[in-house]
Amino acid sequence: MPESTDFVALQDPDVIEGLDYWRTLPIKQQPTWPDASAAEAASAEIATLPPLVFAGEVDKLRERLAAAAQGKAFLLQGGDCAETFAGATADSIRDRVKTILQMAVVLTYGASMPVIKMGRMAGQFAKPRSSDFETRGDVTLPAYRGDIVNGYDFTPESRTADPRRLVQGYHTAASTLNLVRAFTQGGFADLRQVHSWNKGFASNPANARYEHLAKEIDRAIRFMDACGADFEALKHVEFYASHEGLLMDYERPMTRIDSRSGLAYDTSGHFIWIGERTRDLDGAHVDFLSRVRNPIGVKLGPTTSVDDMKALVDKLDPNREPGRLTFITRMGAGKIRDELPKLLEAIKGMDANPLWVTDPMHGNGLTTPTGYKTRRFDDVVDEVLGFFEAHRQVGTYPGGMHVELTGDDVTECLGGSEHIDEATLATRYESLCDPRLNHMQSLELAFLVAEELGAHPHVRA
Ligand SMILES: O=C[C@H](O)[C@H](O)COP(=O)(O)O
Ligand SMILES: C=C(OP(=O)(O)O)C(=O)O
Ligand SMILES: [Mn+2]
């Protein structure tokens, strides 16, 4: 029996043929490469490079997500809206991982529930856009579609799609994932380091609250240590990589056949989601991702009909496999209480059990008069609360949270206990796409969700 890490180039011809069926279907949000043969060559090169994740890891994640869908775990998924090549530095990767680990500690402790940790990391390089073009003054150029496609600088050269970026995207994902694996497997994520994850971040109320929690955890660990407990399990953290499966010239060559099962895995990440703009039932993305074994997410915006949702279940999870399908709702704070319960009621009538996750970011965008894309922290919080309310009302499980965040002290979202206002946004706005919660706002949100999940009284303010 081959190892689970083996991927073979060719097996069942029907499986292989199916993986290219998307090419016959309508497709959205792909770049126009100036030289199609150069893009084909880049994809062919990627197809020869090693997988980034292994089938066995992907299967384990599916089991973890199945537990979350049953209310026995909670998914925390976070990271940049658009990762950049320049941002793949040791410090930036470490601080994002630390932020997610801290949030996970707050949630695990507060909710007494396992937390599945997942980064929008190591592949979140391709962006769908509302418009193909961007105009500044009297100059119009192609929109920035993420570092794997073109550059952010507003010049014709930079904005021209460059297929060499596909290969650079692979290598940047590989080095990011390598460091994430080192951090999470090599002792850094050991729960006994719970204090040190807070070091280096500006001191602020959320950090102080975290310190208080970390002290409690420390005390509990010392007690267990004195009792002779074995801490082997605390040394390593399972950390999964995820991104939007958007750019087919990257996802297709990263898809390999697992030699154990003869089935296809998209080895660019453990979890792949389909965006709100590309979830057409008869479109290329849904077809392609219906054929890979990875757990698949689908973003659901406020206009999602019950019929659309049901058809997505049938297409992406025909066997009703636990952990296979995650719906990531991003309705907007003002709409979630009206729109989500209908979908939840309808799912109760099907024999399906998807994992429900809230993305409180993408339905709450606004642009300031000075041109900054931003979100109000209060709206983010309100959507999360609406998500929990909807699930309580219908009797389904609120199984996770998907957020755009960074470990840096950026000023991209309005509000939070630092009271970031419109004038402050300019001081440290670094995102090339959507605004992210900064370190402190991320921790604040984690405390709030922990309370919602039935927090430990000591964790409450
Ligand atoms: O996450 C991404 C954005 O919401 C998406 O790229 C659309 O952004 P845009 O409206 O600025 O194009
Ligand atoms: C583009 C994104 O989201 P959505 O597809 O929900 O708009 C995103 O997650 O960055
Ligand atoms: Mn985004």
* 100-158 pLDDT tens trace: 999 999 999 888 889 999 999 999 999 999 999 999 999 999 999 999 999 999 999 99
Neighbouring residues of the ion ligand 3, judged by CB less than 5 Å = 81, 434
Q: Residue 8's pLDDT is what?
A: 62
CB 104 within 8 A of CB 98: no
Compute, in angstroms, the gap from residue 360 CA to the centroid of ligand 1: 15
Q: 34-59 b/e with 16+ CB inside 10 Å = b?
A: eeeeebeebbeebeeeebbbbbebbb
Mean pLDDT within 177-182: 97
Indicate which atom in ligand 2 lies nearest the CA of residue 277.
Answer: 5
Phi and psi at 97, nearest 5°, equal -60, -45
Other CB atoms closer than 10 Å to residue 394's CB: what's the count? Answer: 16
Contacts with 427 (C-beta within 8 Å, 6 or more apart), sequence order = 411
Compute, in angstroms, the gap from residue 137 CA to the centroid of ligand 2: 27
C-beta 276 within 6 A of ligand 2: yes
How far is 179 from 239, CA to CA, in rounded Å?
11
Q: Residue 458's pLDDT is what?
A: 29
- Per cent of the chain over pLDDT 70 is 96
Encoding tokens for residue 411?
A: 């000023």
Compute, in angstroms, the gap from residue 370 CA to the centroid of ligand 1: 18
Write the residue with the smallest CA distance to atom 6 of ligand 2. Answer: 276
Write the residue with the smallest CA distance to atom 2 of ligand 2. Answer: 275
Write the residue with the smallest CA distance to atom 10 of ligand 1. Answer: 130
Encoding tokens for residue 334?
A: 């003002």
How far is 167 from 270, CA to CA, in rounded Å?
19
Categorize the per-residue pLDDT at 455 as very low, low, confident or very high, splitting at 50, 70 and 90. very low
Compute, in angstroms, the gap from residue 233 CA to the centroid of ligand 1: 40
Write the residue with the smallest CA distance to atom 10 of ligand 2. Answer: 81
DSSP 318-332: TT--TTSEEEEE---
How far is 57 from 244, CA to CA, in rounded Å?
18
Phi and psi at 52, nearest 5°, equal -90, -30
CA distances to 11, 53, 79 from 7, in Å: 10, 11, 29
Total residue length of the chain: 461
Indicate which atom in ligand 2 lies nearest the CA of residue 81.
Answer: 10
How far is 184 from 119, CA to CA, in rounded Å?
12
Phi and psi at 237, nearest 5°, equal -120, 135
How far is 62 from 294, CA to CA, in rounded Å?
7
Write the residue with the smallest CA distance to atom 8 of ligand 2. Answer: 81
Other CB atoms closer than 10 Å to residue 18's CB: what's the count? Answer: 15
Beta bridge partners of 76: 117, 401
CB 14 within 8 A of CB 135: no
Indicate which atom in ligand 1 lies nearest the CA of residue 404.
Answer: 1
Contacts with 198 (C-beta within 8 Å, 6 or more apart), sequence order = 102, 207, 210, 211, 214
Amino acid 406 reads: T
Compute, in angstroms, the gap from residue 212 CA to the centroid of ligand 3: 32
Q: Residue 250's pLDDT is what?
A: 98
Write the residue with the smallest CA distance to atom 5 of ligand 2. Answer: 275
Contacts with 35 (C-beta within 8 Å, 6 or more apart), sequence order = 163
Compute, in angstroms, the gap from residue 130 CA to the centroid of ligand 1: 6
Q: Residue 181's pLDDT is what?
A: 97
Mean pLDDT within 155-181: 98
What are the pocket residues of ligand 1 if the criterion is a CB atom closer than 6 Å to any ligand atom?
81, 127-130, 362, 433-434
Ligand nearest to the CA of 242: 2
How far is 261 from 150, CA to CA, in rounded Å?
37
Q: Is residue 1's pLDDT more than 80?
A: no
For residue 250, the SS3 value is helix
CA distances to 3, 42, 47, 85 from 443, in Å: 40, 40, 39, 26
The mean of the pLDDT values for the chain is 93
CB 52 within 8 A of CB 250: no
Compute, in angstroms, the gap from residue 235 CA to the centroid of ligand 2: 33
Ligand nearest to the CA of 405: 3
Q: Residue 193's pLDDT is what?
A: 85
How far is 54 from 268, CA to CA, in rounded Å?
10
Q: Is residue 461's pLDDT more than 50?
A: no
Categorize the per-residue pLDDT at 456 as very low, low, confident or very high, splitting at 50, 70 and 90. very low
Q: Is residue 459's pLDDT more than 60?
A: no
How far is 398 from 328, CA to CA, in rounded Å?
11
Q: Residue 425's pLDDT is what?
A: 97
Kindly provide the residue ranges of all beta strands, DSSP E only, lying in 330-420, ordered along the sequence. 355-358, 365-367, 373-375, 400-404
* 210-233 pLDDT tens trace: 988 888 888 888 888 889 888 887
Of the residues 28, 77, 81, 364, which should be mutated to test ligand 2's pocket, given the most ligand atoms within 8 Å of the CB?
81
Ligand nearest to the CA of 128: 1
CA distances to 114, 150, 168, 340, 358 from 393, in Å: 24, 45, 47, 10, 16
pTM: 0.95
Of the residues 84, 433, 436, 437, which should be mutated to test ligand 1's pocket, given the most ligand atoms within 8 Å of the CB?
433
CB 329 within 8 A of CB 387: yes
Indicate which atom in ligand 1 lies nearest the CA of residue 365.
Answer: 4
